[in-house]
């Protein structure tokens, strides 16, 4: 049986302060291949702490986190970094594109430190841009792209290595409504292609587009039915 992409079991995270801050409390979450879920909550609810745990940017104080069948709580920092690079694609609110590089060059940057033929890397970058509907923009620099197109370039960069999980942090936060809809349409397409997506958002309209909707409040998760 194929293991879930994400399996959190009784995960807790406490920040050392006076008094201590319980950012995550007994969190249990199972995400299978091809799932598309949104995590929604107010500021201070624990969204960022959950994102950092899921992205292997932080460690839980209790519980376990299996990513694609690998128990991440048993890994050292170097192993976690390698696993993050091979299994997780990140999409952020800010696009983080290099202004003097073309769309294709920005996408190819995802494999800058990997060995391999540069020509093949460029071809894969162009193919991934085609996948997100930007085949006609491969040579354009970011200043010639709309906000929605820049975010799609960032999504293509995250997809280049065929990650097990696409982890998106407020991916439409810098976009107007029309560009937001275009990005959400792309997420629908990626879900149909079997991509596993977790979208962290405060926007109810964004979260409603997901197949599953998880609320977080005071560090506790609850899944909405229906």
The 10 Å Cβ neighbour count of residue 146 is: 14
Greatest alpha-carbon pair distance for the chain in Å reads 55
**pLDDT at position 222:** 93
According to CATH, what is the number of the domain 6-223? 3.40.50.300
**pLDDT at position 141:** 97
**pLDDT at position 125:** 94
The 10s digit of each residue's pLDDT in 99-114 is 999 999 999 998 765 6
DSSP three-state, residue 3:
coil
Q: What does the alpha-carbon distance between residue 192 and residue 36 come to, in Å, rounded to a whole number?
A: 10
The 10s digit of each residue's pLDDT in 45-85 is 999 999 999 999 999 999 999 999 999 999 999 999 999 99
Instruction: Quote the Cα angle for 151-195-41, to 5°.
Output: 65
Q: For residue 67, give every residue at least 6 positions away whose Cβ sits within 8 Å of its Cβ, in sequence order, or none.
A: 5, 6, 56, 83, 87, 88, 164, 165
Q: Which two tokens stand for residue 20?
A: 């201590």
**pLDDT at position 44:** 86
| Residue entry with tokens 């940017």 | 57
**pLDDT at position 114:** 61
Task: Give domain limits for the chain.
Answer: 6-223
Would you say 89 and 97 are in contact if contact means Cβ atoms under 8 Å apart?
A: no
Q: Which two tokens stand for residue 58?
A: 């932080």
The 10s digit of each residue's pLDDT in 171-221 is 999 999 999 999 999 999 999 999 999 999 988 889 999 999 999 999 999
The 10s digit of each residue's pLDDT in 141-181 is 999 999 999 999 999 999 998 999 999 999 999 999 999 99
């Amino acid at each position: 049986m194929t293991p879930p992409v994400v399996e959190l079991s009784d995960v807790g995270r406490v920040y050392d302060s006076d008094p201590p801050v319980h950012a995550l409390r007994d969190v249990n979450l199972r995400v299978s291949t091809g799932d598309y879920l949104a995590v929604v909550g107010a500021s201070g609810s624990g969204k960022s702490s959950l994102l950092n745990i899921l992205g292997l940017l932080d460690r839980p104080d209790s519980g376990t986190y299996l990513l694609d069948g690998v128990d991440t709580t048993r890994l050292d920092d170097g192993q976690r970094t390698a696993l993050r690079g091979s299994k997780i694609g990140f999409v952020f609110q800010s696009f983080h594109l290099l202004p003097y590089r073309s769309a294709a060059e920005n996408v190819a940057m995802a494999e800058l430190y990997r060995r391999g033929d540069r020509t093949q890397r460029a071809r894969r970058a162009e193919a991934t841009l085609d996948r997100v509907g930007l085949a006609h923009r491969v040579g354009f620099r970011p200043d010639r792209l709309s906000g929605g197109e820049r975010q799609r370039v960032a999504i293509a960069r995250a997809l280049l290595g065929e990650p097990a999980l696409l982890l998106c942090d407020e991916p439409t936060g810098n976009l107007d409504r029309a560009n937001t809809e275009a990005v959400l349409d792309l997420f629908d397409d990626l879900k149909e292609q079997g991509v596993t997506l977790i979208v962290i958002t405060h926007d109810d309209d964004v979260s409603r587009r997901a197949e599953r909707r998880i609320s977080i409040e005071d560090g506790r998760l609850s899944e909405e039915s229906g």
